[in-house]
């Protein structure tokens, strides 16, 4: 699985509104039913497509996989042109506020009976996929990225810290305690950094707050929001003390840092475990473990399946989306690919709750991530979230590189963030 999430934003979507003003075209004439499903990275669907075709003679399903940036850019272009889009298209949660402004380009899944599926998801997940006060169902939830903390047992032991996951969790009931643990680790680690980057610490903290960059009326509040400032100061403080490896998540340096054991801890949503495993390779099997994140919950990522209006087989596309997001399929995807289900009947299923990871020292990952999901509070993403969020990430990067103090970086981010929010 290669599914980089919220930290990889698309600068090229600044022309988003213009792209969506293009005229639509009529669907192609009816013919053999071939459905296309467009995702970013692997969603674990290939085997499911085969099963769906067997159960639905006359229907063929084809997957289209692109990287995170390209996928959402192509969706915007296809919607604007009124053609060329897939029948079923995944949208990551941070892009929903923008695409939600163009519901005229999407099928209202209520037309096909989607309102009857509402009970399948937690209320916050269902609400994320709707518009018009819940009357317009835009997408059905796939996975979610409930948070945990991945750590290296051997590196913790070398620094004289506990390695048992319950004892490790007890080290950091709060983020302040997490920072204290990082300082203690760094003083004993012989040069190994505590965390991968200030950015992942910052992101995890923000994702525990109900509001961060924008209030629910879409007013920019980042420069006055104590949640944002606290996260920025704590993460920036760890960077100033050189307790982070200063590697950007999902980049080649990040992969190399994992393989070379250059850091010992990382805030990790469920979908990231596969990436850590792929980066570390078999030689690090059994050295990583998973425990709860400070604060006990949080979410980083998660997607929805939508049905653009331009498709020739919208009802059939809806039926496929319903099947792919049904609890039984979500459970299977988790057990095979590690993507945590968002459907209640899936992430509360005994098979999910009892699932463990051999690579991560037998950690009860199903139980850990499901508990995080149960306790999380969703946060609001504003219409300009995609433009503002990178501003603060870059600011932390300047602190990490020693180019600015925390106050200097904060001041610049506040100015640039407000400007980005006003575009």
Q: How do the domains of the chain map onto residue ranges?
A: 11-144+301-349, 145-299+379-422
φ and ψ of 250, to 5 deg: 80, 0
Angle at 142 between CA 26 and CA 307, to 5 degrees: 5
CA distance 148 to 159: 21
Q: Which CATH class is domain 11-144+301-349?
A: alpha beta
| Cross-strand bridge partners of residue 68 | none
Positive/negative CA dihedral, 359, 362, 367, 372: negative
What's the pLDDT at 17? 37
Contact 97, 381 (CB under 8 A): yes
Q: Do 11-144+301-349 and 145-299+379-422 share a fold?
A: yes
String of DSSP letters for 272-306: HHHHHHHHH-GGGTTTEEEEPPTTS--EEEEEEEE
What's the pLDDT at 1? 38
CA distance 136 to 96: 13
Q: Which of 228, 164, 199, 166 is nearest to 382 (CA)?
A: 228
Burial zone of 292 (CB within 10 Å; 0-12 exposed, 13-18 middle, 19+ buried):
buried
Tokens describing residue 156: 């913790």
What's the pLDDT at 31? 54
pTM of structure: 0.87
Give the 3-state secondary structure of residue 58.
coil
Give the 3-state secondary structure of residue 395.
helix
Q: Which CATH class is domain 145-299+379-422?
A: alpha beta
Please give the average pLDDT of every successive group of 10 residues along the chain, which has 423 residues: 39 37 39 90 92 96 92 92 93 89 95 97 93 95 94 98 98 98 97 97 92 92 96 98 95 96 96 94 98 91 95 96 97 93 93 96 95 83 88 96 97 97 89
Tokens describing residue 350: 């005994």
CA distance 182 to 198: 12
What's the pLDDT at 263? 98
């Amino acid at each position: 699985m290669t599914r980089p999430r919220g930290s990889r934003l698309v600068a090229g979507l600044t022309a988003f509104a213009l792209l969506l003003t293009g005229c639509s075209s009529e669907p192609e004439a009816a013919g053999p039913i071939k459905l296309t499903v467009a995702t970013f990275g692997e969603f674990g669907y290939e085997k499911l497509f085969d099963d769906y075709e067997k159960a639905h003679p006359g229907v063929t399903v084809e997957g289209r996989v692109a990287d995170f940036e390209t996928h959402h850019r192509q969706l915007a272009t296809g919607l604007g042109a009124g053609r060329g889009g897939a029948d079923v298209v995944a949208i990551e949660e941070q892009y929903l506020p923008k695409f939600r402004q163009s519901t005229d380009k999407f099928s209202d899944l209520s037309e096909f009976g989607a309102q009857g599926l509402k009970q399948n998801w937690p209320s916050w997940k269902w609400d994320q996929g709707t518009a018009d006060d819940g009357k317009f169902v835009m997408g059905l939830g796939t996975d979610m990225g409930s948070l945990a903390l991945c750590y290296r047992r051997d590196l913790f032991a070398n620094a004289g810290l506990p390695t048992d996951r319950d004892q490790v969790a007890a080290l950091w009931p709060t983020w302040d305690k997490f920072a204290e643990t990082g300082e203690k680790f760094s003083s004993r680690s012989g040069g190994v950094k505590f965390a991968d980057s200030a950015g992942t610490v910052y992101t995890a903290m923000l994702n525990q707050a109900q509001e961060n960059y924008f209030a629910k009326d879409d007013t920019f509040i980042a420069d006055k929001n104590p949640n944002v400032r606290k996260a920025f100061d704590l993460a920036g403080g760890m960077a100033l003390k050189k307790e982070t490896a200063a590697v950007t998540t999902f980049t080649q340096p990040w992969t190399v840092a994992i393989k070379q054991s250059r850091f010992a801890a990382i805030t990790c949503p469920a979908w990231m475990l596969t990436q850590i495993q792929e980066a570390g390779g078999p030689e690090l099997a059994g050295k990583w473990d998973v425990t709860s994140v400070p604060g006990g919950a949080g979410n980083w990522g998660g997607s929805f399946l939508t049905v653009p209006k331009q498709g020739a087989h919208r009802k059939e596309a809806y039926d496929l989306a319903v099947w792919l997001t049904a609890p039984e399929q979500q459970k299977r995807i988790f057990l095979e690919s590690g993507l945590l289900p968002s459907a209640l009947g899936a992430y509360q299923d005994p098979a999910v709750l009892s699932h463990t990871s051999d690579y991560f020292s037998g950690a009860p990952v199903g139980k850990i991530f499901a508990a995080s999901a149960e306790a999380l509070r969703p946060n609001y993403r504003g219409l300009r979230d995609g433009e503002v969020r990178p501003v603060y990430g870059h600011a932390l990067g300047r602190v990490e590189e020693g180019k600015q103090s925390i106050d200097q970086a904060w001041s610049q981010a506040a100015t640039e963030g407000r400007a980005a929010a006003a575009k």
